[in-house]
Amino acid sequence: MYKPTAEETYANIWPNPWAMPIIYFLTSFPSFILGTSIIYVVLKYFSKNMHIDMKLGLILVILDTLSSLDFIFTSIASIPPIKLYVNYHGACIAQVAWASTTFVTSMNLIGVIALERCLLIVYNIKLKDIYYWIMVLFCYLVPLICFITTVSTDSIEFQVVGTICHYGSHSIAGIATYLLMMFVSSISSTLLIISYIKIVYFINAMATRQQMELGIDPEKAKKEANKTTFKLMLLLIINVSSNFPYCILQFFDLFIPGIYTPKVSFFIVRLCVLDIFWNSVIFLILHTEVWDKMKEVFWNRSSTSS
């Protein structure tokens, strides 16, 4: 199986080598600012009495903030005057190590967060925190194992999108790690979809039951149910639309080479990059108390000082 060189891949970037680095920077810099703000506020004001759902959400935000640092560096390293990942394969390997243990781990972690919410809300099951930390460790170890496998078999390649390196699809080891990563990611996505659909169904059924049994104002109950439904469906749509197209196209490209073209990757990878921003936004939607505190700390303080 012919393996193109990094120079050959770089020469085929669409539409040009400047476009994606600029998009990376414009997306990742606001993500870094938002993520660090959330981390600061949560650790300073909510660290003493955090429930496991906020702890897991905070881990997700930390991973995405670290990913944003990776993307900021990548946006600079990938511009034509530098071409760091094309000229130095060691830098390519380091970038994959960083992305595997942050961005890919984050993709897997969303399923754990959804599962915790479903078990507690729908089934009133509160597992010990240790079980969730074991799941988090699993989400971290799988991409780490994938990275070690690809490094040891020289299966890391510069990608057609022109800004990142990743597991290569021109070797058996590279294909195997891709399949393992996609299998775990598909489990996470399945947990996400099933869990939030169950929660939405449960909340709406509970609202109907409260109207009938407790005589609660139907409009008020419906309004609260619709509000929660909107939040959860927004979370579901954003996560699925951000990661699903990339995973599907990468999967089919393993068996039908040529589907994942530079032009296709330009549009698909942008959705994945946006994921690090949307995860922080979703955290604030689900934890409105953190958003309220952020406004108090940053906006009110700046208004007072001015």
Cross-strand pairs, 156: 167
pLDDT digits over 182-232, tens only? 999 999 999 999 999 999 999 888 877 766 666 666 677 678 778 888 888
The model's confidence at residue 248, banded by pLDDT at 50, 70 and 90, is confident
Average pLDDT value for the chain: 91
pTM of the predicted structure, to 2 decimals: 0.93
Which fold is adopted by the domain 10-197+241-294? Rhopdopsin 7-helix transmembrane proteins (1.20.1070)
pLDDT score recorded for residue 208? 76
Q: What is the pLDDT of residue 292?
A: 95
Crossing angle for the helix pair 129-152 and 52-77, to the nearest 10 degrees: 20
